[in-house]
Structure 1
Amino acid sequence: MADRLHGPLHQIISPTQSAFIPNCLISDNILVAHEMFLYIKRRKKGKDKFLALKLDMGKAYDILEWTFIEAMLLKLGFLHYWVSRVMSCIQSVSYSLLINGCIKGSIAPTRGIRQGDPIHQQYLFYAHKHLLQLSEEQRGLESYMELEFGIEVLQSPTFYLLMIVFFFSQVKLGEISSLNQCLDLYCKAMSQEINLKKSSLTFSPNTHVKFKRWLSRVLKVPYCDGPSKYLGLPTDFGISKKDLFREVKEQTLNKLQGWKKKYLSHAEKEILLKASLSPMSNFAGSHFKLAVSHHEDVRKAASNFYWGDSENDSKIHWISWERLGRSKNRGGFGFRDSRLQNQALLAKAAWRLWSSPETHWARFIKSIYFPTLDFLRARLGHNPSWGWCSILEGRDALQEGLLWQIGDGALVDIWQDKWIQSLPHYKLQYPKPVGCTLSTVANIIGPVTRYWRLYLLQQFFHQSDRDAILKINLSLFPSADKLIWGASKDGVFSVKLVYHLLSNLKQVRDKDGAACKASTSRCLQ
């Protein structure tokens, strides 16, 4: 029953819900919250005033009314037979007390659901959908908070997790009263309680203090400068990024404290570093670019721990950390470079934004920064958020592994674009010969035979490039060229492949830089 109820879940609940939905992550709303709060806090002038209301639902599981669950399932269109089967599972629960090792009595509840119930998450999703429907009916679509970025206007009034709801609205009496009525009706229907101590109001700076106080009394929620964190990550970024992620760095370095390094072998230290050090920064690094000082401190602490350094005793580091970070088949131990790992994780966010443009958070980011452009051609823009700067950092890593899949070849430049998977950097290794007029891949494909024009390949291409081109199989039916992930043979994206790709590129650049430096020193001599 749980599997069957999970099937239509994505068709029923709001698109602002991203937890436990296929192709969505629970952390998708982190970037949405980051942009929304940034927009509100930058609104220092103008007549339009905005607010953000954070609601914490207390005891969301324990006091959920059974009658409300049944009515909500029927309203969503489920059959009476199916609803009765679900309600029989909910209402059949009973509890007993264990006193001095003996089972005493039996308690039959009349409301509430168990958190261990296989479909308890779906219940709350349907309940929150009712709250969103009430807000739409009470407030109307025209009164939603509209973020005027670029050309497209995206309406994003609400997003939520299981027990935390965010409302974004304009500071207007009609909207606030409608929202208050909606919340009262929702709490009465579900017997829900709002935890006022954990709830908060945030206003744009152009809102007068008198309005803040009055609206705080109306909603019975205290106002403040806004939640400093959402899902453990900061919502507001200042000039110094080092202080914002200080807690992440401390949690990472604390993993290495308390271990008796004298009694651990190098193999045991290797396992400990790989198992506990990198995962601490992965969650923050999946959404935002971490400070350079953070990576340097982590690298230094890991190197000192591995070689047995302490505050009073310094050991010799017999091998550099860069060599230890190489893969094992290249003579290293496979330690991850936290800076490259951060960039690889951001590449995953860029990949999801590019490959799944229909998701709610992707449409939200697109409406702000590139409403009329493709993501791969989007620009940084004026006064961007740190989240957008981080995504562009991941896009640079993503583009290193993208290559063109040849269809008709009309969009692919022969000499500049990446389109040959078997060659280094996916490009031709030899420059364009003098007198050659070929520009796109379509010029070297027979339009009728759908095969490579061998006489052109023999005339203008080097043998190694020619052999690599002939390995590409062409479709009998021409189609449009498209970009794919070329770092894997099956086209499946993974953070591991991005990291190895970035690591190999870094080694090539370091080797070229060392050779250039050596040649320069010889010339000076």
Structure 2
Amino acid sequence: MQRILDVYERASGQVINKDKSSNFFSPTIRGEMRDALLIPTEARSERYLGLPVSVGRSRKRAFEYIKQKIWARIQGWQGKEILVKAVAQAIPTYAMSCFDLTKGLCDDLSMMIGRWWWSHQDKEKIHWLSWEKLTRSKKKGGLGFWDLHLFNMAMLARQAWRILTNPDSLCARVLKAKYFPNLGLLPCTAREGISYTWRSILKGIDLLKEGIIWRIGNGRSVNIWSDPWIPRNITRKPITPRGASLLSRVEDLINPITGDWDEQLVKDTFWKEDAQAILNIPTRTEDEDWPAWHYDQKGLFSVKSAYKVAVERRDRCMKSDASGSGLKNYKENDFKWNKIWELGVQNKTKMFLWRVAHNSLPVKRNIEKRGVQLDTVCPVCKRFDEDCGHIFFKCKEATECWRRMNLEQERVALEACPSGLETVQQILNMVEEVQLKVVILMWR
């Protein structure tokens, strides 16, 4: 280490100030060796280039500064949607590109942002919708906020992709020499004694496997049965069972003379669906096999695409676990949510209509459903319970407004809608001029 510092000083002409420097050693290093560098400060609790030098056992403590930074930035802002997307979610991005922040910490950050999102003038309010719904894309009924844990995995998958596609880079060579000298990257698994940085990248590899596909060159490095190489189904592997087949590498399926597929061998080995998909793959026997990203036409990896894959995997798991709420979910999924955001009105008016569709407005009946004890009678007419249908279409003051705007026919049609979702659907089906009048009237 001292020799490296000496070489640096001679090469750069700069002398290192050891009083302003810091370092840290493994606990197994003897004291006299630590003292040899004459650097008095240990840097275990410090950060370098914005990242913790050493994560240690308490990951929550190591990344606590991210929570503090987000909370400090979101105080006092008014444009909440813009702030969440442009600032609050951007702060942990740098750390996420190197470390697994853990699902627990990501949930804490999401909860903190969610509390702020639903709050008003520093007062905590009811969370009208789950954070999971807010993280759905706008075309699926959400607001497009990130699921921070899944975004973290997508960022780590990018690091794994760089190691896979740039094996000659210094970072890839160092990691390979230390953690997988006799293996490829994708088969790597966690073991004792590895650094937290490498353990984090392994989490990214799990997501990378969801979208990786091998493009066939000479076929020598791709296993027919275990590697993803057929551009068709989710696994991108053959659905044909191997049985007693002795074929192992994709090159075994290629005619060595012509460089094309051995069509008869392929048809004899695989079921019809597999065989057709394989024969449609172009071969380039003069090239090596190379990895590509299945969800991009050019085969290029992107965090955006990987995040989408992670969200779809999460949604598949949620669908398999869900039962009994099928009709409501079907209506929400079938609804054209984009039409709300395409309206020619202010963003806060669109947000209002979105909340109507989700039945998440703070009317008395909705508040009562969330366990708050209160008088639910409408404070205007003092006759009926205050719900969305009443305050917009049935209360005597509301009906008078509709009448004066010459929208009585529209009011009657909307009053008959059984849910907020169908109310908004009815509004979106109106001609544009009437539609805007109705939306502004309800908003005001």
The residue number in structure 2 matching 1:277 is: 88
Match of 1:151 in 2: none
Aligned-pair CA distance for 1:276: 0.8
Of 100, 103, 115, the match for 1:304:
115
Q: 2:106 and 2:8 mapped to 1: Cα distance?
A: 47
2:20 aligned residue (194, 198, 203): 198
Which one of the candidate residues 72, 78, 89 is aligned to 1:254?
72
Deviation at 1:500, TM superposition (A): 1.0
CA gap of 1:206–1:421, structure 2 versus 1, over 3 A, is closer
Q: Distance in 2 between matches of 1:460 and 1:385?
A: 44
Q: 2:221 and 2:8 mapped to 1: Cα distance?
A: 53
| 2-structure distance, mates of 1:479, 1:312 | 63
TM-score for the superposition, normalised by structure 1: 0.53
- Displacement of 1:352 in angstroms is 1.8
Count, aligned residues:
326
- The aligned residue for residue 203 of structure 2 is 393
RMSD of equivalent CA atoms: 3.7
Instruction: Report deviation, 1:439.
Output: 5.7
Matched residue SS, 2:74:
coil
Please list the CA deviations of residues 13-53 of structure 1 after superposition, one character each: whole Å capped at 9, or x if unmatched: xxxxxxxxxxxxxxxxxxxxxxxxxxxxxxxxxxxxxxx67
CA apart distance, 1:400: 1.6
User: How far did 1:443 drift?
Assistant: 5.4
Q: Distance in 2 between matches of 1:384 and 1:226?
A: 18
Q: Greater share of strand residues, 1 or 2?
A: 1
Confirm whether residue 242 of structure 1 aligns to residue 60 of structure 2.
yes
TM-score of the superposed pair, with normalisation by structure 2: 0.62
Q: 1:292 aligns with which of 103, 106, 120?
A: 103
Q: Which residue in 2 is equivalent to 1:382?
A: 192
1:351 alignment partner, one of 161, 177, 183:
161
CA contact (8 A) 1:304 1:310 kept: no
Q: 1:197 to 1:410 in 2, by over 3 A?
A: closer
After the TM superposition, which residues 64-75 of structure 1 pair with which residues of structure 2 at under 5 Å, given as runs?
Answer: none
Matched, 1:324 2:142: no
C-alpha separation in 2, matches of 1:201 and 1:365:
22
- Asked whether the equivalents of residues 369 and 381 of structure 1 are also in contact (C-alpha less than 8 Å), the reply is no
After superposition, the Cα gap between the structure-2 partners of 1:436 and 1:306, relative to the gap in structure 1 and judged at 3 Å, is: same
State the distance in 2 between where 1:366 and 1:469 align. Answer: 32
- Is the contact made by 1:419 and 1:427 (CA closer than 8 Å) also made in structure 2? yes
**Shift in CA distance, 253/439, structure 1 to aligned 2, threshold 3 Å:** same
Q: Cα deviation per residue 1:122-173 (whole Å; 9 max; x = unaligned)? A: xxxxxxxxxxxxxxxxx5xxxxxxxxxxxxxxxxx4xxxxxxxxx4xxxxxx
Measure, in 2, the Cα distance between the counterparts of 1:304 and 1:406. 50
- Give secondary structure in 2 for the equivalent of 1:351: helix
Unaligned runs of 5+ in 2: 327-444
The match for 2:144 is 334
Deviation of 1:289 after TM superposition, in Å, equals: 0.7
After superposition, the Cα gap between the structure-2 partners of 1:368 and 1:339, relative to the gap in structure 1 and judged at 3 Å, is same
Gapped regions of structure 1 (runs ≥ 5): 1-51, 54-138, 140-156, 158-166, 168-178, 261-267, 519-525
Q: What CA deviation, in whole Å up to 9, does each residue of 1:417-454 have, x standing for no partner? A: 311224333234x4439787766545554444544455
* C-alpha distance after superposition, 1:274-314 (max 9, x if no partner): 11122100111111110322211221223233333677542
395 and 321 in structure 1: CA distance in 2 versus 1, 3 angstrom threshold: same
1:306 to 1:456, Cα distance in 2 relative to 1, 3 A: farther
Structure 1: distance between partners of 2:150 and 2:119: 25
2:306 pairs, out of 477, 495, 498, with 498
Residue 255 (structure 1) shift: 2.4
Distance 2:277 2:93 in 1: 38
Counterpart CA distance in 1 for 2:8 and 2:268 is 74
